[in-house]
Each structure stands twice: as C-alpha cells, then as structure tokens.
Structure 1
Amino acid sequence: MVLQDNAISYGSALVLSLLLLLPLLAKGCDMFTGQWVKDASYPLYDPSTCPFIRRPDLDCPTFRWQPQGCKLAWFNGVDFLQKNRGKKIMFVGDSLSLNQWQSLTCMLHSSVPKSPYTMTTEGTTISTFTFQEYGVEIKFDRNPYLVDIVSEKIGSVMKLDSINDGKNWLGMDTLIFNTWHWWSRKSWDYIQIGSNVTKDMDRMAAFEIGSLWGEPAAHSCAGQTEPLWGTNYPGGLPPEVGVLKRALGKITKPVTLLDITMLSLLRKDGHPSIYGIGGRTGNDCSHWCLSGVPDTWNEILYNYML
C-alpha cells in the first residue's frame, strides 16, 4: 500500500515512544538530545478545558523540552490549521495514539476556541475531530498491532504480512503510526507468516517482521514528581528501539526517524499513576497526563511541518 503525502509512526513500550516520518527530512537541528527545564509559560493550553488525564499532585505541565543547540518553534495552532487546510491527519495505533490524538485536538482547540468543530465516530475504532472553518480532520484509528488479527476455524490468527485494515488509511494526507505496547500481551491464538502458522514466536522477532511495512531502580511511577534531570536515561534505551531501527533499515522508501524515546524516558513523573483509570486500585505508568509529554511530541511534529 502506498501511503499518501506524509507518513508518521512511533512505537511504544511503557514509556518508550518513537516517531517516524516519511518522507520529511531533518531540519538541521537535533530535537531529541536535550533536557527538561521548568518554564512558567507552560502548559500550552489550560488543561481544565481538556480534562482527559490529569494529576492533581504535581506541576508536570510546567516542564518544557529544551534541545541542545537549538530551540523548538513555539506551537502555533492557527498556523498548523492553515498549513493543513482541507487535509486529513490520522493517528493509527493503541491508547498511546489516543493520548497523542487527544493532545493535538486540545492544542488546536485552545488556539481557536470559538471556531466550530464536530466530533464523530465510525464503528468502534475510528474517531474524527473536525475543525469546520479550516476543513481539517484529526482522526484516530484504534489498531494496536497495525497488522491484521482475523478469526478463522483454528481461532484468532495474527497475520504479520497482512494489513487489510489499511483501507481505513486511504485518502489520508498524514498518517501517524504507533505500535508495540500490546505486542507483549498475547491476544491471539496463532501467528501466521505467509503459509506458516505457529502457536507463538519470539515477540521481538514478530514485532520486527510486523514493522516492515523511570530510572533503573524505580519500578513504579507512583510518587514521581520530577523528571530525570540531564540528557541521558541511566537505564539505557529499550531493545525495541534497535528492533525498530533494523526494520526501518529494510524499508526501501527513504525514512527519517523522529526519535522521542529519550525525552519520554526522562519523564518518569508524567504518567497518571494512581490518578488514571482504576484510581488507587491501579497504577498507570503506561499512558501520559494531559497536558504533558504528548504535547511535546506534537510540538516536534509541528516543527517538522514548518
């Protein structure tokens, strides 16, 4: 399948997040090596107007990502809408894609609060936020694995070389992919590659095939109220980063990886923790507060669209 105009992807494992742009090129600035700094001008919007996931116990929105050697352009929602007038932008993935989709709709709505909009759903997987004045559609397609899981006589089969659900992506001007978060959880009965069907296989190997088309001592995000200061995560990068890069190296179409892994790893404080779904009976260290880290992902996305 040919992806139209720009295609963006990021993989995620707990706090791991990656962005991949096709075919956007780097702008001569390393936006991904830097550190978090306190900035009273943040957050970019009033979180009370978009109460998706918030924590009342910390000031996480007041942190700004500061790259080394350059500075991110301030997010301008009106400029974003004007540049994408009449276009369709779709996030494809799991609940972390939902996180980023919610973030972008909040950032844009706060820029044009009086501009009319609509919210619609198609079936159980696709949601669309439309800025009617600009004809801009911001879509979310829930597809945790990106490849197909189909029901057959033997049970549910994950087909690593099949993306029939990609029909939902046709006609999009920008596609933003997210995967990995669910690959460690077995929600299928069999895995199929071509005609070979197996009960299971190494998840890293499966992830690599399917991708072809807090500090180390902190075992929980509970009680974390500050980022890790500095430019490096003490525990190193997760192995999924290498898997994804190897997979991308096999893709013939030129790609540029927008690697927001490190900046996300440094934000051990940015998760809902006991304030997420499930309340104090749970501890959500997978998703992100809004406003918060996903806003930075979208700031970087905006800077690459300039």
Structure 2
Amino acid sequence: MGLQDNAISYGSALVLSLLLLPVLTQGCDMFTGRWVKDASYPLYDPSTCPFLRREFSCKNNGRPDLDYPTFRWQPQGCNLARFNGVDLLQKSRGKKIMFVGDSLSLNQWQSLTCMLHSSVPKSPYTITTQGTISTFTFQEYGVEIKYDRNVYLVDIVSEKIGRVMKLDSINDGNNWLGMDTLIFNTWHWWSRKSWDYIQIGRNITKDMDRVAAFEIALGTWGKWVDTVVDTTKTRVFFQGISPSHYTGALWGEPAAKSCAGQTEPLLGTNYPGGLPTEVGVLKRALGKITKPVTLLDITMLSLLRKDGHPSIYGLGGRTGNDCSHWCLSGVPDTWNEILYNYMI
C-alpha cells in the first residue's frame, strides 16, 4: 500500500515505543490516529483550482480563519505516503475512476480533481457532463475521473402513482460498468423523503424506517457487486459515512449549537459522542459481500474535524449553515490521500 512504518516523533518515549512496533506496511490501520499541524499542508491552494464549486470554496467565500486546511492525518504506528498527483496519473494512464453517490461524493470528486490539477497545472483537461455523470479528463494521461450523482444507489422510478424508490433494483448500475476503480457512497439523503412510495418486490408502502431501508438498499447494492462486477478488473471502494456537526454536546461543547465558529479539530483519537448508528449498518452490509470491497472508514477521522465544514462560508453564505459538507482544501483531501495509499 505504499505505507511507511516510520512514526512522527512527539517525544522520546513515544518514539521509542513506536520504533518497537512491527512493520505494518500491509496491516496498518490508516483510520485510527490524530490530526497534527503540518506547515507543508494544504496540498493545494483552492484559489488555483478554477473549477472548484462555490459551495466548497470556503476561503474564496470569505472564511477568515485559515488553519483548518493545515492539519495532516497521522495514523497510529505508520505514516501515510504523501499524495503524489503525477505518480497517480502515470499509474492510472488510460484508466477510469468513478465516484458514485450524493454530494459527499461530489465533495470527494472535486477534492481529487483539484489535487491532481495542482500537481500538473499546465496539463490540459476537459470537464463534460452527460445526464447524471460528470467527467474530468486529463488528456495528456488519458485518465478520466468521473462522478455519477446517485444519492441512494438503488433506483427511483417515476410511475403513475408518483416517484417510487425500488429498494431491490439497481438498473442505474449500467452506468458504472467498465470502470477501473469505483468509489461508492450513500446515506446523506436517507433522512429526507424525496420519494412518494417505497417498493420491495410487489409490496408498496408510503414509508418505512429509514435505517432499515438503508440496510436493504445496501444489501441490494452488495448483491449487484457480487453478481455484476468483475473485481479482477475493477477495484471497488465504499466511502464510509461522512458525519455532520450540528450538536456541540456530542463533541463535549454543549454551548455550541453547530459547527459555526469552530476553528480547531478535536486533538484526541476518539469522538466523545461515538460513531453514528449507520456505520454499524454499513459494516454489517459490507460483511455479507463475497467479492473484495474496501471500506474507506473515514467516519472517526472526520468526526474529529468539527472545524472542517463550510458553515456560513458555503453556497448559502450567511443565510445558511452547512455543517455536513466540507471545505476544500480540507478533510476530503485526506480521504483521497488514504485512497491514494490503497491505489499505489
């Protein structure tokens, strides 16, 4: 995975203990660790990413504190290989990488395209959109970085009775064939009712428990992976649950009603409020898939970043408060740095 087992030094006692750890190039837990200040971060200046969408461009939207992109994720017992965009493009020549999911997938797709563009700023590129699919092409390398907006993974079909979510159907999966790498994501929209009916087999209902519906949909997606995807040709990832920060009591600050005004991450390794229920649901569903699927288990490291959201420096400006998506540069760059460590 391209990981090094040299540990960052925070004191002689800790250095000694880390040096005694076994080599962890294959067994390193990249998702347990802490955030540390690093003067070499961020990996790119968002002002040099001309296609960055306004909702993620917190610096350009006037955010006054600029420490939030200067933290690096430090796993316990090993180091992440630093992201190298030229290396990734060279190793991905002629290949297609696709993110499939909701606006958190869009957040990660935008992050990766900015990271790569900053590595080869003079290399020509195109951005095209056809239907639900946006494609960023690095022409010099023949690399396509795609994003398919599909917020539930399962199908929603317009019928005479209205919009029907079919929890046991993935016809849209035809859009995902022929990719070299797939990174899936869903959950963000499950608390919102953007359908009129839910169907399982012949059973049609107005609504049901959303977590239960989420688990059924994940099971359908897992069967699709097992049945349709040739994992000898396509690497499959699932972007873990990206958390929101609207309740300060969960991170030990009861007076905080949201992420607004937060300027520093939590500096420990654990989140006082614990993991969301849906994380366990996702891991249970992934455990039922027989083909290899890699979980990008980014929930805990993202929970620690209460400072990383746009808050009032997103699309809505001071009329909104976005504590769900992430500023760029910022936390999704770390998700992609971890993805890079799996891909090299």
- TM-score, normalised by the number of residues in structure 2: 0.77
Rounded to whole Å, the distance in 2 between the matches of 1:248 and 1:257 is 8
Q: In 1, are the aligned partners of 2:164 and 2:197 still within 8 Å (CA)?
A: yes
Q: In 2, are the aligned partners of 1:126 and 1:140 still within 8 Å (CA)?
A: yes
- What displacement does 1:143 show? 0.6
Q: 1:113 to 1:298 in 2, by over 3 A?
A: same
Residue equivalent to 1:238: 276
- What displacement does 1:47 show? 1.7
Which secondary structure state, in structure 1, belongs to the residue aligned with residue 83 of structure 2?
Answer: coil
Q: 1:103 to 1:30 in 2, by over 3 A?
A: same
Q: In 2, are the aligned partners of 1:34 and 1:68 still within 8 Å (CA)?
A: yes
Which of 132, 144, 150 in structure 2 is aligned with 1:143? 150
What are structure 2's unaligned runs of at least 5 residues? 55-63, 216-247
- Deviation string 1:219-243 (CA, Å, 9 cap, x unpaired) is 3000000001110000000000011
- What displacement does 1:23 show? 25
Rounded to whole Å, the distance in 1 between the matches of 2:14 and 2:198 is 23
Higher mean C-alpha deviation, range 5-14 or range 239-248: 5-14
Rounded to whole Å, the distance in 2 between the matches of 1:181 and 1:13 is 42
- What displacement does 1:6 show? 28
Higher mean C-alpha deviation, range 174-183 or range 2-11: 2-11
- What displacement does 1:25 show? 13
Rounded to whole Å, the distance in 2 between the matches of 1:10 and 1:145 is 43
Rounded to whole Å, the distance in 2 between the matches of 1:10 and 1:180 is 37
Q: 1:140 to 1:176 in 2, by over 3 A?
A: same
Residue equivalent to 1:153: 160
Root-mean-square deviation (Å)? 8.8
- What displacement does 1:59 show? 1.6
Which of 67, 91, 106 in structure 2 is aligned with 1:83? 91
Matched length = 303
Q: 1:8 to 1:33 in 2, by over 3 A?
A: closer
- What displacement does 1:95 show? 0.8
- Deviation string 1:104-138 (CA, Å, 9 cap, x unpaired) is 00000111111111111112x11111001110000
- What displacement does 1:8 show? 29
* Higher helix content, 1 or 2: 2
- What displacement does 1:50 show? 2.0
Q: 1:8 to 1:29 in 2, by over 3 A?
A: closer
Q: 1:78 to 1:113 in 2, by over 3 A?
A: same
Residue equivalent to 2:227: none
What are structure 1's unaligned runs of at least 5 residues? none
Larger RCO: 1 or 2 (CA < 8 Å, sep 6+): 1
Q: In 1, are the aligned partners of 2:5 and 2:79 still within 8 Å (CA)?
A: no
Q: Aligned residues: percent identity?
A: 91
Q: In 2, are the aligned partners of 1:8 and 1:22 still within 8 Å (CA)?
A: no
Rounded to whole Å, the distance in 1 between the matches of 2:12 and 2:312 is 21
- What displacement does 1:21 show? 30
Q: In 2, are the aligned partners of 1:214 and 1:265 still within 8 Å (CA)?
A: no
- What displacement does 1:57 show? 2.5
Q: In 1, are the aligned partners of 2:265 and 2:305 still within 8 Å (CA)?
A: yes
Rounded to whole Å, the distance in 1 between the matches of 2:19 and 2:209 is 24
Q: In 1, are the aligned partners of 2:32 and 2:76 still within 8 Å (CA)?
A: yes
Q: 1:155 to 1:21 in 2, by over 3 A?
A: farther
Higher mean C-alpha deviation, range 177-186 or range 19-28: 19-28
- Deviation string 1:115-170 (CA, Å, 9 cap, x unpaired) is 111111112x1111100111000011111111100011111100011111111111
Rounded to whole Å, the distance in 1 between the matches of 2:194 and 2:69 is 35
